[in-house]
Amino acid sequence: MKNYKITKLVCTLCFLLAFASCESNDEQVTAPTRITDFTTVQLLQLHGASEKSWKLTELVMPEEFIDHPASLNVACVADDTYTFPAPTSTLFRSKEDIKIELGDIRCFETISEAEHFEGTIRYDPYTLNGVEVMKTTLYLESCHSGDNGSGGNLTVCGGGIYPLTELTEDRIVFSSGSTDFVFEIN
């Protein structure tokens, strides 16, 4: 009887140790990673192998900036055309100037006498899970200038960095997380 109790105790301990060493699959489940980098073949939709023009059709930004006079707005950018060039290298980082044709509606008309927009697109190639992809990032800068109130001229510039997050034949989106620039084919 004594051996039976010891055997039972040892078996119970072994079972409890085996059970305690098991891992739950719930702890191993991770959220899927959203890949926003594209292959060179996919990027042909963006630049057409040399350059391609797109209309800036939508600007999504935080509520507090929507009607601010020093912020871009949909009305002023809706007639602007951006031409994105192809990268000059698919093996090394490539930074290219964007051609920006501003429309007739000025963005900072109420607070400035002149405005200027510049942009570059940067292509950073790397390998992801054995596939060559490019992190594609848009840098936009806008400047507006006018009288500073004391007879001098004041120029104010601001810019932002926006990774390419969506790419189709007729729509591209560059997004910083809080601001989205949505383009449609011109």
Q: What DSSP string runs through 111-158?
A: T-SEEEEEEEEEEEEEEETTEEEEEEEEEEEEEEEEE-SSSSEEEEEE
pLDDT, tens digit (0-9, with 9 covering 90-100), for 99-149: 999 888 887 777 777 888 899 999 999 998 899 999 999 999 988 887 777
pTM, full prediction: 0.74
Residue 40 pLDDT more than 80? yes
> Average pLDDT for residues 165-173, to the nearest whole number?
95
Looking at the chain, the whole-number percentage of residues with pLDDT higher than 70 is 75
Cα separation of 118 and 141, whole Å?
Answer: 5
User: pLDDT tier at 183 (50, 70, 90 boundaries)?
Assistant: very high
**What is the predicted pLDDT for the residue at 10?**
45
Cβ-proximal residues to 172 (8 Å cutoff; 6+ apart), any chain: 45, 46, 54, 164, 166, 182, 183
Residues in the chain: 186
Each residue's pLDDT tens digit, 56-105? 998 888 787 776 666 677 777 888 999 999 999 988 999 999 999 988 88
